[in-house]
Amino acid sequence: MQKITSIGRTRVGLIQFPGSNCDEDCVVALNRHFGLEVTKIWHRQTKLPAVDAIVIPGGFSFGDYLRCGGLAALSPIMDEIRAVAQKGMPIIGICNGFQILVETHLLEGALLPNAHGRFVCQRQGLVWSMKSMNSGANTKATISLPIAHGEGRFHADPHTVEKLKEEDRVLFTYAPNPNGSVGDIAGICDKSGRIWGMMPHPERAMEEITSGNEDGQLVWKAFFEHAMGGDANK
């Protein structure tokens, strides 16, 4: 696997909450497959170490008490996350991480209970919906990633949904829709393109032998190239 070299020794900060359970998966994915330095950051810290990007992993922060991501959004570290986000720090939130970014108002919309009222855990087809990623040499038109959530139904008012589409900020759409998300939306980004949120788990699809495909690698590459301005193919 090629290492990312054009952006130097990239340092990634990974935020941990009580109940995070996909943090180690992200560490292995980024370290083993991209050679990145990953620093774990406990949610009670108030300052970030020197990092180039932030990952907020999946899981059940605070046991999903109140609502998914609601308590995590109030953790001390999130004030610092908001501050670095305003300065252009690339941030990706996966599953519970997406819910936290929405609760922190760094991304629009809400993640509601699945329309059918059931937890869904399966491999899911996705379509690259962001135009700049749908034609990249290192992407496929469609990919397949695992999903595992009970509150993954993306919801926003019609004006916001239309704005997301007009501004080309829908990262992925479901094919087919597993939870009733408006517009089949599975992931979005902010106006800068540097803050990503998605319900599917790219860190769980890194190797053919363990997950059936390597489509998760494509997602991480796209994040590095589009949000961080690096090149994962050099």
Q: How far is CA 197 from CA 1, 92, 219, in A?
A: 25, 6, 12
pLDDT at 231: 47
> How does pLDDT run along the chain (234 residues), one tens digit per residue?
334 434 457 899 999 999 999 999 999 999 999 999 999 999 999 999 999 999 999 999 999 988 999 999 999 999 999 999 999 999 999 999 999 999 999 999 999 999 999 999 999 999 999 887 765 555 678 999 999 999 999 999 999 999 999 999 999 999 999 999 999 999 999 999 999 999 999 999 999 998 899 999 999 999 998 888 754 443
pLDDT at 226: 87
CATH of span 11-227: 3.40.50.880
Of 43, 149, 201, 226, catalytic? 201
Annotated catalytic, 33?
no
Please give the helix or strand (H or E) that residue 200 lies within, else none.
none
What residue ranges in the chain does DSSP mark as E strands? 11-16, 37-42, 53-56, 91-94, 110-112, 120-128, 142-149, 153-155, 170-174, 185-189, 195-198
Calpha distance 230→227 (Å, rounded)? 8
pLDDT at 229: 76
pLDDT at 60: 96
Annotated catalytic, 43?
no
If you compute the radius of gyration of the chain from its CA atoms, what whole number of angstroms results?
A: 16
Report helix, strand or coil for 175.
Answer: coil
The number of helices, as runs of H, and strands, as runs of E, in the chain is 6, 11
Burial of residue 150, with CB atoms counted within 10 A of its CB: 0-12 exposed, 13-18 middle, 19 or more buried: middle
For residue 143, the cross-strand partners are 126
Backbone angles phi, psi at 22, to 5 degrees: -115, 10
Of 33, 95, 149, 189, catalytic? 95
Map out the domains of the chain as residue ranges. Answer: 11-227
pLDDT at 6: 43
